[in-house]
């Protein structure tokens, strides 16, 4: 079982949704259509979520990786044009519901993959909202290029970890973190950065960033990656010395957080308590089904849930 902040929050909010997503969903379940259906529904996104995912992909593939491996700094126009091309391909892919083609996966579709909640549940998608989202993608990428973060990437003696899977074993399950970017420079403690693409939401991502810091420090102590700077591996500074930043790309706002020793203890408690609870259900996954899992106490969260079809089938079956 893989534990992450997002999975833990999903589990705490609605166990059944977590069950559909992390236990039932399988892309290649030919003999069990419900598992394939769960995989399809797992990938559904709102227009807002799609917008954020596309920005993440573009920054990773068209900005950070070229800087890391080729020493090339792409221009803003090139990156935005690339983003618009990918956006159009994904919109067409989603409108045609190609995500429902037999054997289709994110890997097979590549950058073209997209699955829209509105297409699946409403049969149509608002083109004006899509165009608005495309404009926000341009704004987010522009703000990235003019941000202090971008300037920091270009400084000498800088090592980058981009969308790196950071994992370590804990009590029979795997703790997983995937920050957007980790910057190592000279002999300074790492700088962990996560960017968000929201418009009017004011969500505090302190806990997520603190978990990233904790996991990075644990890996450095136990099984450091080959490209971790030698001085970092030698010193392994405590997470409260790390710099952590949430960057709101639509607003161009940078939010810095600090970590206290008590925060690290709270993170350890979060992982231990929720992880043990999730692991208990995961180990019994062959003995339980969706109806055995608790559902959310907030019905409004069901309105735009991608698993609504499966959940309704469970409820209708129980009523017969």
In whole angstroms, give the CA distance from residue 316 to residue 67. 53
β partners of residue 182: 161, 192
pLDDT (0 to 100) of residue 23: 95
- Structure tokens belonging to residue 48: 């807002």
Same domain, 128 and 182: no
318 confidence band (pLDDT: 50, 70, 90): low
Q: pLDDT tens digits for 32-74?
A: 899 999 999 999 999 999 999 999 999 999 999 999 888 889 9
Q: Which distant-in-sequence residues (6+ apart) come within 8 Å of 312 by Cβ?
A: none
Same domain, 28 and 133: yes
Same domain, 211 and 227: yes
The residue assigned the tokens 């970590």 is: 259
Q: Which distant-in-sequence residues (6+ apart) come within 8 Å of 256 by Cβ?
A: 243, 244, 245
- Domain boundary at 146, 166, 183, which? 146
- Domain boundary at 146, 167, 196, which? 146
Q: Which distant-in-sequence residues (6+ apart) come within 8 Å of 185 by Cβ?
A: 152, 155, 157, 158, 159, 191
DSSP states along 2-17: EE-HHHHHHHHH-HHH
Q: Compute how many other C-beta atoms are within 10 angstroms of the C-beta atom of residue 305.
A: 19
Q: Compute how many other C-beta atoms are within 10 angstroms of the C-beta atom of residue 152.
A: 15
pLDDT (0 to 100) of residue 92: 98
Domain assignment present for 297: no
Domain that holds residue 135: 24-146
Domain assignment present for 114: yes
In whole angstroms, give the CA distance from residue 224 to residue 216. 9
* Section 205-227 average pLDDT: 92
Same domain, 53 and 113: yes
Strands 181-185 and 158-162: antiparallel
Q: What Rg do the C-alpha atoms of the chain give, in angstroms? A: 21
β partners of residue 76: none
DSSP states along the chain: -EE-HHHHHHHHH-HHHHHIIIII--TT-SS-HHHHHHHHHHT-B-HHHHHHHHHHHHIIIIIIHHHHHH-----HHHHHHHHHHHHHHHHHHHHTTGGGSTT--HHHHGGG---BHHHHHHS---HHHHHHHHHHHHHHHHHHHTSHHHHHHTSSSEEEEES--EEEEETTEEEEE--SEEEEETTSPPEEEEEE--SS-----HHHHHHHHHHHHHHHHHS--TTS-HHHHHH---GGGSEEEEEETTTTEEEEE---HHHHHHHHHHHHHHHHHHHHHHHTTTT--GGGS---S-GGGGTT-TTHHHHHHHHHHHH-
Domain assignment present for 2: no
* Section 282-289 average pLDDT: 91
DSSP states along 140-182: HHHHHHTSHHHHHHTSSSEEEEES--EEEEETTEEEEE--SEE
Please count the structural domains in the chain: 2
pLDDT (0 to 100) of residue 103: 85
Domain assignment present for 210: yes
186 confidence band (pLDDT: 50, 70, 90): confident
- Domain boundary at 95, 116, 146, which? 146
Asked if the model's pLDDT at residue 115 lies above 80, the reply is yes
Phi and psi at 255, nearest 5°, equal -120, 115
Domain assignment present for 293: no
pLDDT (0 to 100) of residue 179: 96
| Under 8 Å between Cβ of 246 and 205 | yes
pLDDT (0 to 100) of residue 319: 47
Same domain, 162 and 231: yes
Read off the pTM: 0.91
Same domain, 30 and 92: yes
Asked if the model's pLDDT at residue 301 lies above 90, the reply is no
Domain assignment present for 253: yes
252 sits in the region (left: phi over 0; alpha: psi -120 to 50; else beta) called left
* Section 284-313 average pLDDT: 90
């Amino acid at each position: 079982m893989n534990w992450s902040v997002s999975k833990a929050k999903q589990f705490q909010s609605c166990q059944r949704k977590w069950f559909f997503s992390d236990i039932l969903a399988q892309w290649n379940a030919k003999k069990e259509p419900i598992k394939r259906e769960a995989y399809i529904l797992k990938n559904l996104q709102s227009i807002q979520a799609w917008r954020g995912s596309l920005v993440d992909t573009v920054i990773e593939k068209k900005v950070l990786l070229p800087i890391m491996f080729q020493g090339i700094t792409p221009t803003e126009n090139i990156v935005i044009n690339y983003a618009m091309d990918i956006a159009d391909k994904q919109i067409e892919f989603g409108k045609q519901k190609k995500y429902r083609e037999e054997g289709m996966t994110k890997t097979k579709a590549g950058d073209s993959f997209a699955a829209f909640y509105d297409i699946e549940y409403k049969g149509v998608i608002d083109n004006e909202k899509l165009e608005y989202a495309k404009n926000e993608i341009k704004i987010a990428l522009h703000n990235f290029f003019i941000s202090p973060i971008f300037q920091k990437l270009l400084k000498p003696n800088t090592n980058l970890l981009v969308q790196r899977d950071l994992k370590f074993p804990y009590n029979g399950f795997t703790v997983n973190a995937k920050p957007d970017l980790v910057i190592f420079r000279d002999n300074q403690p790492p700088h962990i950065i996560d960017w968000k693409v929201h418009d009017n939401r004011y969500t505090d991502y302190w806990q997520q960033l603190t978990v990233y810091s904790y996991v990075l420090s644990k890996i450095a102590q136990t099984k450091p990656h080959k490209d971790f700077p030698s001085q970092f591996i030698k010193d392994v500074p405590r997470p409260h010395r790390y710099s952590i930043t949430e960057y709101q790309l639509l607003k161009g706002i940078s939010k810095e957080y600090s970590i206290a020793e008590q925060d690290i203890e709270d993170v350890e408690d979060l992982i231990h308590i929720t992880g043990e609870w999730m692991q208990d259900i995961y180990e019994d996954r062959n003995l339980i089904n969706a109806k055995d899992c608790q559902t959310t106490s907030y019905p409004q969260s069901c309105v735009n849930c991608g698993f609504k079809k499966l959940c309704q089938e469970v409820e209708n079956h129980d009523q017969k």
